Amino acid sequence: MANESANDTAQNIGPVILLGPPGAGKGTQSRRIVEHYGIPQISTGDLLRDHVARGTALGLEAKVIMARGELVPDELMYGIVATRLREADCKRGFVLDGFPRTAPQAGWLDAFLEKEVFDKSEKCPPVVIQLLVDYTQLLQRLAGRRSCPTCGRLYNIHSQPPLVDELCDVDGSKLVIRDDDREEVISGRLAAYETQTRRVADYYRAQRRLVAINADRTMDEVTAQIFAVIDNHFKDGCE
Ligand code: AMP
């Protein structure tokens, strides 16, 4: 699958937006898109966690909100997303994981892409892929999730266990349960998804830009579906 990646031809891919509730596999699938197409993954959760780790003013504000499983206010998100998307590695395209999460964020992103990232010679509308997952499977995935505090790699004790129990395959660090993956926080995160993020799907559906995918299948099957959607959307390259 990886032999003939779009990266070989350095073709423009444009923005790829992955939508789906926490635990739908956005992180894993994003990383596969990164490897296959050679475009960066922009995870707003990772950007925020980086601010928290560095103890910035934004990080201090976001930490409390994230630990409660709530969404960080839109106004705080715009600055960090704009800064990241202006970096040179985003020129050929990027995969957004975890953004937009509210309808206003979706509107902001459209305006930003129109104005700043893709100028007239490089216009390429985003492809928006929604991962649909059964609720029971979601709970199981989230409760089984472990992450490496050193490299950030994600595991699942049910579906993607590490080679050695509790230890990261890459660097041997002891795996941890992220604060917001604790069971008492999970239901709050899913509720936030229900009330806010559904409107993002509605926003893109109304514009006929939403492609829904059944993400209850195996990781590889879901990846194959996603690559097919991206290849089809960008088959002629960006204008
Ligand atoms: P994630 O790693 O994508 O699950 O994000 C972890 C947490 O970061 C979320 O539960 C939110 O508190 C916050 N977060 C991430 N992305 C956004 C966003 N686009 N808007 C608001 N809050 C966000």
For residue 38, pLDDT beyond 90: yes
Structure tokens belonging to residue 78: 């715009």
pLDDT of 188:
79
Residue 119's pLDDT is what?
53
Of the residues 32, 63, 141, 145, only one is catalytic, namely: 145
| Catalytic residue status for 141 | no
Residue 123 has pLDDT above 70, yes or no: no
Element (H, E) at 86: none
In single-letter form, the type of residue at position 104 comes to P
Beta bridge partners of 97: 18, 43
> Any residues with CB less than 8 A from the CB of 9 and at least 6 apart, and which?
none
CA pair distance 51, 80, nearest whole angstrom: 10
Mean pLDDT value across residues 5-9: 45
What tens digit of pLDDT does each residue of 223-237 get?
999 999 999 887 765
Burial (CB < 10 A; 0-12, 13-18, 19+), residue 42, is buried
The rounded distance, in Å, linking the Cα atoms of 231 and 209 is 15
User: Could you confirm whether 145 is annotated as catalytic?
Assistant: yes
End-to-end Cα distance, the chain: 26
Rounded to whole angstroms, how far apart are CA atoms 220 and 158? 16
On whether the CB atoms of residues 129 and 229 are closer than 8 A, the answer is yes
pLDDT band at 179 (very low <50, low <70, confident <90, very high): confident
Query: Which one from 31, 178, 199, 209 is the annotated catalytic residue?
Result: 178
Ligand 1 mean position to 8 CA, how many Å? 32
**26, 32, 141, 153: which one is catalytic?**
26
Q: Could you confirm whether 101 is annotated as catalytic? A: yes
178 is catalytic: yes
Dist. CA 56 → ligand 1 center (Å)? 17
Tell me if 96 CB under 6 Å of ligand 1.
no
Q: Which of 17, 48, 142, 182 has the most ligand 1 atoms within 8 A of CB, as the residue to mutate?
A: 48
Q: What was the pLDDT predicted at 6?
A: 43
Greater confidence (5 vs 203) lies with 203
Mean pLDDT over 42-52 rounds to 94
Percentage, residues of the chain above pLDDT 90: 53
What pLDDT does 173 receive?
A: 96
**CB within 8 A of 12, min separation 6: which ones?**
92, 93, 122, 124, 234, 237, 238
Q: What is the mean pLDDT of residues 25-38?
A: 91
Cβ contacts of 92 within 8 Å, gap of 6 or more: 10, 11, 12, 13, 38, 39
Structure confidence at residue 164 (pLDDT): 95
Active site residue 123: no
Per-residue pLDDT at 192 exceeds 80: no
pLDDT at 8 over 60: no
Task: Kindly state if the Cβ of 45 falls inside 6 Å of ligand 1.
Answer: yes
Average pLDDT of the chain? Answer: 86
Helix, strand counts (H, E) of the chain: 9, 7
How does pLDDT run across 63-115, given as a tens digit for each residue?
Answer: 999 988 788 999 999 999 999 999 999 988 999 988 999 999 999 999 998 88
Domains of the chain: 2-39+92-229 (3.40.50.300)
